[in-house]
């Protein structure tokens, strides 16, 4: 087993619900020691979020279990003198402080970036908010759906008839958390050179707009505003979802040679000679007619057959799976992407708890969480020893 790249990094995690905990989960998978600071008796709101009422009542909702494995939990009230004293000691020993309060909340509790820098000059302080610490919307409340709407994402999701539509999972929270994790890793690398801490101001809105790729760059570079195209790829044709004999099939024949191979394999080589489909731009202009021709040909076989035939010939093609099918696929199993852990004590759930990894193998090894998610305050009794250990680590050369 390899040593994880962030082994020895100490993360003080004040975050709730999704973007922040998703960030610290990835830091944990990479080896960081993550200590969640939770409000006594309440904890992370995600503890009460999920489809299972019994788990929610136990403070172990599915939303919490999904992204808090391998972390420690201590309860501290930052409005209480004893809690503030313990928190200040933890800050002195931490490498990273992560929070996703509304802009300015931690500062109003007495811990603005300057105060944190006094406590620990080498601290990487990362604040994740909907809109960033500055700007006219910095104090506005923000959840994933709000950011999806403001980013323009919803305006291009769906068909011209159905848009705007929300993306089917909290993508802006996810992108915000990944952006924060990337920035933290970069700041730690920088500190290794100059010894300086950093204040990282992560805007979920800006991170989400950045992640939209060509939809944004086409407008910035060419002044062309993107429009909803449903399950079709606006940049190429044939590229989108098609109809096989038993259900949908994704095909992305984006290159000329892929299009020619596709036509041959589906028994329609004459499509390549049709002037409407001769080149990329012509195919985009006559997309509907081309899609009808391809769907007629695909009706001869089930989607699984076409997936096998086309992919073997170098034409990107695959069935559309449900989430359970994707999780249970041989591909996911073959890479060890899903980890099995015992449920935390108090969770009335049978069997093992399954959680995802990060999609990266280090020298062939998939890093999974070393322990299940913590119950609220599970590590309260360990706080004195934790403080001693962190103080000693903070005093060692970085």
151-181 residue pLDDT tens: 999 999 999 999 999 999 999 999 999 999 9
Residues sharing a CB contact under 8 Å with residue 18, sequence separation 6 or more, in sequence order: 46, 63, 67, 144, 170, 173, 174, 177
pLDDT (0 to 100) of residue 397 = 59
* CATH number assigned to the domain covering 10-212+330-395: 3.40.50.10540
Cα-to-chain-centroid distance, residue 174? 3
Closest to 112 in 3D by CA, of 93, 127, 122 = 127
pLDDT (0 to 100) of residue 298 = 98
275-288 residue pLDDT tens: 999 999 999 999 99
Residue 77 annotated to the active site: no
pLDDT (0 to 100) of residue 398 = 54
186-240 residue pLDDT tens: 999 999 999 999 999 999 999 999 999 999 999 999 999 999 999 999 899 999 9
Q: And the tokens for 290?
A: 């081309």
Cα gap 87→77, rounded to integer Å: 9
CA dist 198 to 121, 130, 192, 398, Å? 9, 20, 12, 15
- DSSP-H helix ranges across 287-376: 287-298, 303-312, 323-327, 330-334
Q: Specify the DSSP class assigned to residue 317.
A: E
Region class of 8: left (phi > 0), else alpha (psi between -120 and 50), else beta:
left
Query: DSSP 3-state helix, strand, coil percentages of the chain (rounded to 5)?
Result: 45, 15, 45
**What sign does the CA torsion over 332, 335, 336, 338 have?**
negative
pLDDT (0 to 100) of residue 393 = 86
pLDDT (0 to 100) of residue 351 = 77
Cα gap 395→398, rounded to integer Å: 8
* Prediction pTM value: 0.94
Catalytic residue among 81, 173, 296, 363: 173
Find the Cα–Cα–Cα–Cα dihedral 207, 213, 219, 222, rounded to 10°. Answer: 140
- Residue ranges of the domains in the chain? 10-212+330-395, 239-321
pLDDT (0 to 100) of residue 113 = 94
The sheet with strand 72-75 has its strands ordered as: 72-75, 33-38, 10-13, 96-99, 124-129, 198-203
Pick the CATH number of 239-321 from 3.30.1540.10, 3.40.630.30, 3.90.1170.50, 3.40.190.10: 3.30.1540.10
Average pLDDT, the chain: 95
378-398 residue pLDDT tens: 999 999 999 999 988 887 655
Q: And the tokens for 305?
A: 């057959």
12-32 residue pLDDT tens: 999 999 999 999 999 999 999
83-124 residue pLDDT tens: 999 999 999 999 999 999 999 999 999 999 999 999 999 999
122-147 residue pLDDT tens: 999 999 999 999 999 999 999 999 99
């Amino acid at each position: 087993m390899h040593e994880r790249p962030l082994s020895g990094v100490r993360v003080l995690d004040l975050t709730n619900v999704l973007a922040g905990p998703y960030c610290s989960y990835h830091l944990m998978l990479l080896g960081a020691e993550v200590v969640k600071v939770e409000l006594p008796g309440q904890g992370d709101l995600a503890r009460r979020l999920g489809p299972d009422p019994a788990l929610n009542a136990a403070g172990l909702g599915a939303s919490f279990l999904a992204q808090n494995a391998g972390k420690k939990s201590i309860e501290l009230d930052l409005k209480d003198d004893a809690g503030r004293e313990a928190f200040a000691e933890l800050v002195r020993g931490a490498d990273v402080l992560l929070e996703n309060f509304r802009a300015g909340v931690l500062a109003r509790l007495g811990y603005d970036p300057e105060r944190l820098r006094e406590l620990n000059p080498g601290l990487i302080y990362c604040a994740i908010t909907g809109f960033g610490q500055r700007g006219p919307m910095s104090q506005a409340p923000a959840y994933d759906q709000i950011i999806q709407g403001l980013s323009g994402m919803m305006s291009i999701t769906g068909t011209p008839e159905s848009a705007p539509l929300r993306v089917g999972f909290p993508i802006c929270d996810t992108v915000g958390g990944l952006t924060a994790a990337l920035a933290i890793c970069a700041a730690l690398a920088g500190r290794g050179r100059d010894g300086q801490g950093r204040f990282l101001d992560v805007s979920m809105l800006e991170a989400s707009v950045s992640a939209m790729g060509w939809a944004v760059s086409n407008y910035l570079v060419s002044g062309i505003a993107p429009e909803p195209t449903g399950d079709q790829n606006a940049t190429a044709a044939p590229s989108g979802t098609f109809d096989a004999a038993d259900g949908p099939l994704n095909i992305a024949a984006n290159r000329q040679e892929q299009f020619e191979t596709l036509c041959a394999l589906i028994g329609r080589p004459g499509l390549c000679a049709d002037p409407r489909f001769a080149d990329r731009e012509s195919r985009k202009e006559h997309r509907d007619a081309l899609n009808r021709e391809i769907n007629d040909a695909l009706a001869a076989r089930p989607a699984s057959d076409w997936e096998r035939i086309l992919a073997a010939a170098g034409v990107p093609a695959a069935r559309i799976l449900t989430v359970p099918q994707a999780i249970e696929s041989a591909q996911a199993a073959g890479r060890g992407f899903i980890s099995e852990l015992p449920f935390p004590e108090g969770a009335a759930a049978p069997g093992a708890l399954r959680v995802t990894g990060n999609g990266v193998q280090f020298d062939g090894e998939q890093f999974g969480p070393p322990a299940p998610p913590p119950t609220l305050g599970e590590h309260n009794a360990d706080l004195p020893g934790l403080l001693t250990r962190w103080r000693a680590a903070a005093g060692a050369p970085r």
